[in-house]
Amino acid sequence: MMQLFGTDGVRGTAGQPPLDEATVIRFGAALVQVLPHEGRGRLLVGRDTRESGPAIEQAIARGVRAMGSDILSAGVIPTPAVAYLTRTLGFDAGIVISASHNPYRDNGIKVFSGRGEKFDGRLEREIERLVFDPAAAIDVPEPTPVETIDGVAPYIEHARQVLPDAGPLGGCKIALDCANGATAAIAPRVFAALGFDVTTVGDAPDGRNINLACGSTHPEGLTALVTDGGYAMGAAFDGDGDRVILVDGRGCIVDGDAIMLLCARHLQQQGRLHRNTVVATVMSNIGLELALRDNGIGLVRCAVGDKYVMEELLARGLSLGGEQSGHIILSDFLFTGDGMATTLFVLRVMAESGRTLADLAAEFSSYPQTLVNVRVGAKPDLRDVPALAAVMANVERRLAGRGRLLVRYSGTEPLLRIMIEGEDQGQIQTWAEEIAEAARAHLP
């Protein structure tokens, strides 16, 4: 059976399987069938700014209606807003059409439960079974417009619970890079209404320029803007608004690891860091682990993907977790990554501590890290490729406990990711290339 779900929902090239019209219609129908609901069932859908979004939304709606359920659209809106609205407005599920930080030709589907949490593996497998079941015939209705709701206003009010006003930071200059994505029409309103002096870039989506040389995966332009313009900080969101990379007043990048450390220390000082423990993925730098330990804070590592971070937070009753890539979950506010809420919380830390972002971020010291990607045609178990396994074992020996090696397949792209941390940048880069060369030689 074909696998639909990766580490962050369904991903692919828009218009091609699994994001062709027929498969997406069956996805909508399957989703209704696996949901616990009373009566007809109500679902909410939102999307980012990709030109393929409306067609995918219509296909999902046809599948949902084929099963007798209702669906409403929040239009272009950040992913965390869909999670929040689903939970607070009584929807049985929320659907996001987005490929996050990927180029515009890609798209994807993420699903939230009625509690605003990403679907677990059991429900994903059941959806896959129904989508690819040849006996599951569907009487598909003709396309009709999807009824819309205004989800922006309630989401803005929710975001302002994180930081009700700018306080001592009133008039402070901040720069926002909205990635030509879902935050483009919302983020400037939120931050300006709080009293900040806001400049935005990446705020003119045209359906094809989402994440194009902008946003959280390309913060270089924002870095130059902040440095040259005398801004206190900058925030670069990704296409669907569930992650953020910050830039301090000196123009230095503040990634998810540094954000987690400064948030953890602040919550700890306020007695709000539940169980004095943070959740991060296996990709977080060893420097985060050591800094947390020095401050008496524990670290739980999990698989890559913010849904796995969320699962650990829920299972352990914790309040903070995230990824180096900028997905930060503050579970007192929402059980998914939220780029705007994270930025507002960091501004709150700055206001309450009286410190600059540069000062706060300086407490994090990152070990040298390198990440090399190798494109693959298939994803065999690495233990079944002896020549590659031998090269990896040799690198582990040479690290001698003074770094980390992590080799894994991407959950959303045909890539093998090779990550090494160690004391010398040049040496770990050489070792990563050795593994990459072996992978190219021995993987399909």
Taking the C-alpha atoms of residue 245 and residue 247, their distance in angstroms, rounded to an integer, is 7
H-helix or E-strand containing 421? strand 415-421
Q: How does DSSP classify residue 241?
A: S
Least reliable range by pLDDT among 73-77, 219-223, 399-403: 399-403
CB 263: neighbour CB atoms within 10 A?
23
Q: What is the pLDDT of residue 52?
A: 99
State the DSSP code for 22: H
pLDDT score of 6:
85
Q: How far is residue 444's CA from residue 442's CA, in Å, rounded to a whole number?
A: 7
Q: What are the sequence ranges of the domains in the chain? A: 5-151, 154-250, 254-338, 369-442
Contact between 278 and 292 under an 8 Å Cβ cutoff? The reply is yes
CA 2 to chain centre: 24
Query: Which pLDDT value is given to residue 120?
Result: 85
Whether 100 is a known active-site residue: answer yes
Number of Cα atoms under 13 Å in the Cβ half of residue 10:
29
- Judged on CB neighbours under 10 Å (0-12, 13-18, 19+), 426 is exposed
Q: What pLDDT is stored for residue 335 in this prediction? A: 86
Model pLDDT for residues 334-391, shown as the tens digit of each residue: 889 999 999 999 999 999 999 999 999 999 999 999 999 999 999 999 999 999 999 9
Residue 42 CA neighbour count, 13 Å, CB half: 13
Q: Which superfamily, per CATH, for 254-338?
A: Alpha-D-Glucose-1,6-Bisphosphate, subunit A, domain 3 (3.40.120.10)
Q: Pick the catalytic residue from 52, 73, 98, 100.
A: 100
**With contact defined as beta carbons under 8 Å apart, do 277 and 299 qualify?**
yes
Residue 299, number of CB atoms within 10 A of its CB: 18
Same fold, 154-250 and 369-442: no
Q: What is the DSSP string of 272-331?
A: -SGGGEEEEETTS-HHHHHHHHHTT-EEEEE-SSHHHHHHHHHHHT-SEEE-TTS-EEET
Structure tokens at 112: 């939230």
pLDDT at 298: 98
Q: Is the pLDDT assigned to residue 37 strictly greater than 90?
A: no
The CATH H-level (homologous superfamily) assignment of domain 154-250 is Alpha-D-Glucose-1,6-Bisphosphate, subunit A, domain 3 (3.40.120.10)
Q: Give yes or no for residue 416 having a pLDDT over 80.
A: yes
Computed over every residue of the chain, the mean pLDDT equals 95
CATH architecture of 5-151: 3-Layer(aba) Sandwich (3.40)
Residue 1 has pLDDT above 60, yes or no: no
pLDDT at 402 exceeding the cut of 90: no
Q: Which of 3.40.50.1220, 3.40.109.10, 3.30.70.260, 3.30.310.50 is the CATH number of 369-442?
A: 3.30.310.50
Q: Is the pLDDT of residue 277 over 70?
A: yes
Is the pLDDT at 2 greater than 70, yes or no?
A: no
Tokens 């009293």 map to which residue?
A: 195
For the ranges 13-17, 120-124, 239-243, the lowest mean pLDDT is seen at: 120-124
Q: Which of 50, 5, 52, 31 lies closest to 94 in space, CA to CA?
A: 31
